[in-house]
Amino acid sequence: MSNVLKRLQRWYELNCNEDWEHTYGVKIENCDNPGWLVTIDLEDSYLQDVSFETTKYQNSIENDWLRCEKEDLKFKGVGGPQKLEEILKVFLEWAEKNEP
């Protein structure tokens, strides 16, 4: 298992408190650009009130794009077909930097 998935599992487990996991969570799905969409609920997590600076780029190479932002108490990351790991890294670097 990749280090990124282990780190994501750890973050998820840190937020499981017998309540959060029943209402909120992590969603990874494909989109038709083609690419990936990652949505992570931040409500009732330690990241709820932490600011996040939007990360984005669009290179001239086809499908080499990424956008990560915090919107409506959610982390939302989208990117090209080879950008799933990078999206998760952007989230995890922010989350781990702000861990209580």
Statement: residue 100 has pLDDT above 90 = no
Whether the predicted pLDDT of 22 surpasses 80: yes
Q: So what's the pLDDT on residue 1?
A: 61
The 3-state secondary structure of the chain reads CCHHHHHHHHHHHHHCCCCHHHHCCEEEEEECCCEEEEEEECCCCCCCCCCCCCEEEECCCCCCEEEEEEECCEEEEEECCCCHHHHHHHHHHHHHHCCC
Q: Record the pTM.
A: 0.94
